Amino acid sequence: MTEKTTMHPPAETLHDNKDVFLKSEFGLWSDREGFEPGEQFLIENYLRPDLKTLEAGCGGGRLLLAMQARGYTDLHGFDYLPQFVEAASRRDTAGRISFRVQDARSLDYGDDSFDQLMYLQQVLCFLPEEADRQRAAREAYRVLRPGGVLIVTLLGLRGRTRSLAFKALLAYQYLLRKLTFRRLSLQYQPWLRLQNAPNWSALWDRGPYVYWFREPEAVELFTNAGFELAAIGSEAQVCEGRLAESFDAFARLPHSGRLYIVCRKPIDGAA
C-alpha cells in the first residue's frame, strides 16, 4: 500500500529562510546523516583528508561528521543559526570538530586560514540578495589559502526546467508577477515542499524564496571574486564520474539536477 502524504501549509508564518530552517525544517537539517552522491563525488575527488577544511552552512554537522569517520582530521564548520551549531556540537561526541556561529557574508576567520572549503548543501542559494552572494564569494576567497580548493553545489535553473511541471509553474508565476507588478526574477522560487509535504502557499507565490542559478552567472560569481574555475558539471556528469574542465565544454554536455563547481585560488593571489 502506498503511504499517503499529508498535504498542508506550514503551521507558522515563515518570513525568511531563517524561519524556514527553525520553524519548519530544523529536524530534517539537524538530524540527517551521510553523503549525497554528488557531495561524495566532490569530496572524494577534490579534497584531501590531511588538509584543513571549512564547511559553510554546516547545519547539524552531517557532512563533517561523515568526513571525520573517513579519516579527515582538521575539520571546521559554521552556520548562521546558533541552534544548528549547538546540534552539530552535540552530535560530535569526539569533540574534534570546531563548530562556530558565523555569517558567510562576513567571516571572522583570518586571511588564508584554510586549505579547502565546502560550500555544499546549496548554502549560497539561501542568501536573499545578489550583493549577499557576492560578499560570501569574496569572503570564501579571502579565507582560502593560495592554491586551495573550493567545492560548491548550487540549485541550477536549467536542470529544473527540464520538468514540464516546473515550466508550467514558471509561466504561471511570470503572469502572476506581471499582474501584481512584482519585479522579482523567476530565479527566486518559493519553497515547493515544507515538512515533507507540498507548500501550498507557493501557489500564491509567497516567500521565503530560494535562488536558482543560471550557469554563466554561477561561474561569474566565483571568477569575479578571484577564483579560477577548475571543474563544472551537473548530476548528469556526476553519474558519469567526470566533470567538465571548462564552462564551454560543460555547455555542450547533457544537464540534469544541481550544479557542481570546483574552483581554485590562484597561487599568485590574482586570477
Residue at 233 is within a domain: yes
My answer on whether 115 and 45 are in the same domain is yes
Across the range 262-270, mean pLDDT stands at 84
85 and 197, same domain (yes or no) = no
55 & 146 share domain: yes
Distance, in Å, from the CA atom of 250 to the CA atom of 230, rounded to the nearest integer, reads 12
* CATH assignment of the domain containing 124: 3.40.50.150
Does 208 have pLDDT greater than 50? yes
Does one domain contain both 216 and 94? yes
Rounded Cα distance between 246 and 237, Å, is 13
The verdict on 100 and 167 lying in the same domain is no
Tens of pLDDT, residues 27-80:
877 788 889 999 999 999 999 999 999 999 999 999 999 999 999 999 999 999
User: 163 lies in which domain range?
Assistant: 159-210
Reported confidence tier of residue 268, pLDDT bands at 50, 70, 90: confident
Residue 269, domain member (yes or no) = no
Q: Please identify, among 172, 187, 210, the residue that sits at the C-terminal boundary of a domain.
A: 210
Quote the pTM value. Answer: 0.91
Q: Are residues 219 and 180 in the same domain?
A: no
Q: Residue 78 domain-assigned?
A: yes
In the predicted structure, residue 12 carries a pLDDT above the cut 70: no
Q: Mean pLDDT, to the nearest integer, of 9-17?
A: 63
How many domains is the chain built from?
Answer: 2
Domain shared by 45 and 114, yes or no: yes
Report yes or no on 16 lying in a domain. no
125 and 248 co-located in one domain:
yes
CB proximity list for 22: less than 8 A, separation 6 or greater: 81, 83
